[in-house]
Amino acid sequence: MKTRAGISKRFVIVIASLVSALVLILAVAFNQVLRSNHSIINRTIVGGHERLLLGRGEALARALGQRKLAKTAELAREIGSLCRDQADFLHAVIFTRTADENYFRAAEKIQQNPAVETGIARDSVVREKREEGYLKKGLFEPAVDPVIRSSKGVYWQNVYVPFSLGKKEVVLQFSFSAAALQAALNEYSAEIGRMKKIVALLATALVIAVFGASYLFMHNFTLLIDGLSASIKKASAGELDVNLNAGADDELMELATSFNSLVGGMRELKEREKTFEEKEKILSELENRDTLGDIFKFGVTLLKENRLDDAAALFTTLTFLKPEGFGSYFNLGVIYARRREYGKSIDMFERALQANPGNGLTIQYLEKIRKLQYGDETSGDGSPA
């Protein structure tokens, strides 16, 4: 018995471990999906914002190009005038080339929002530290720096646009607000973080619940096995005054109840073995009851499965074997009602009423079927007895 209990415990532990591993794998996979979706959403949102900024920069460059400017100071004034009423325009720098192609001079600055601090002074020479080289790229085509910069709570992105100023080529750096973009990214990241925490908590709770349920099952199982072993020993020694305490688990309770029923049956048989006639009578009653009872229960099962022909055959047989049986006539009445054979249904219910006079449910069905026979109602399904 101990060996079997040990095997059962190991089996439960293995199953609990497998379920827990599956829960953890699903949690990790879900987090991976969230991470992948987060990356895709970020690229999509940022990419859309970059295309919008690129269009803004090109539109400003075209508007400035129509004014035929030749000096950087004039260009700076026109940029300030053109963008004065644009709330998302924060800052601009006009870069000119130097003798070294890797360096650029900040010829003019247009500071619309004082919170934007780029660290670039007017007339200073700068060189990009990043490998992308947006200033060099901006000499030939418009480009957007995807990096969102911030200063004093203000977020922006830089757009680089080539511009012909007289006979020389300059690069216009426009800084547009990215506050809405940053807020959306922050909100989405926070939501993803909350979802990851929820998944982690749920996975942990499920693992704890699985192992907790496994422990309770093994505890109840061990108690039941020990009690069953002790009770069997007592029963084998002839002591039938035993009762196995059923646990809370349904399956274990069923096992304990079955054992108690077995012991109770043995005790009952032992008490009735005093005389041969009583034993013969009991066996005869049990045989008759079990045979007809099993047929009746099987017929009810067929009726519930809507196998009306098979159920009708069984209940008809029972009326011959046990003519005084109420349930067979009642269920035949239900079957004929479902077939819409109302005359036969009424006949069966009347016979059921003869077997069990005054049965309220039978009287109700009789009234209902009689109304159906005359077309007062539209359905006649009944429940089996």
* Predicted confidence (pLDDT) per residue in 50-93, tens digit: 888 888 888 888 888 888 887 888 888 888 888 888 888 888 99
Read off the CATH number of the domain in which 161 is found. 3.30.450
Decide: helix, strand or coil at residue 108. strand
- The tokens describing 149, both together, are 């910069």
Domain hosting residue 340, numbered range: 275-373
Q: Which of 179, 203, 223 is the last residue before a domain boundary?
A: 179
Give the burial class of 59: count Cβ atoms within 10 A of its Cβ; 0-12 exposed, 13-18 middle, 19 or more buried.
Answer: exposed
Q: What is the average pLDDT value for the chain, to the nearest integer?
A: 79
d(Cα 195, Cα 155) in Å, to the nearest integer?
A: 26
Q: Give residues with Cβ within 8 angstroms of 203, minimum separation 6.
A: 23, 24, 26, 27
Q: Does residue 284 fall inside a structural domain?
A: yes
d(Cα 113, Cα 91) in Å, to the nearest integer?
A: 7
Q: Which of 119, 147, 179 is the last residue before a domain boundary?
A: 179
Closest CA to 165 of 67, 260, 251, 40: 67
d(Cα 337, Cα 346) in Å, to the nearest integer?
A: 8
Q: Does residue 1 fall inside a structural domain?
A: no
Q: How many residues does the chain have?
A: 385
Q: Does residue 174 fall inside a structural domain?
A: yes
- Other Cβ atoms less than 10 A from the Cβ of 19: the count is 17
Q: Does residue 304 fall inside a structural domain?
A: yes
pTM as predicted: 0.47
Structural domains of the chain, count: 2
Decide: helix, strand or coil at residue 172. strand
Would you state the pLDDT for residue 381? Answer: 54
Q: Does residue 119 fall inside a structural domain?
A: yes
Q: Does residue 24 fall inside a structural domain?
A: no
Closest CA to 316 of 338, 332, 305, 303: 332
Q: Which of 147, 179, 211 is the last residue before a domain boundary?
A: 179
Q: Does residue 312 fall inside a structural domain?
A: yes
- H or E element in which residue 352 lies: helix 342-355
Q: Does residue 325 fall inside a structural domain?
A: yes
**Exposure pattern of 95-127 as b/e (b: 16+ CB <10 Å)?**
bebeeeeeebbbbbbbbbbeebebeeeeeeebe
In the chain, which residues have pLDDT < 70?
A: 1-9, 38, 42, 130-131, 221, 224, 227-228, 231-260, 262-267, 269-291, 376-385
Decide: helix, strand or coil at residue 303. helix
Question: Is there a contact between 355 and 370 (Cβ–Cβ < 8 Å)?
Answer: no
Read off the CATH number of the domain in which 369 is found. 1.25.40.10
Would you state the pLDDT for residue 286? Answer: 39
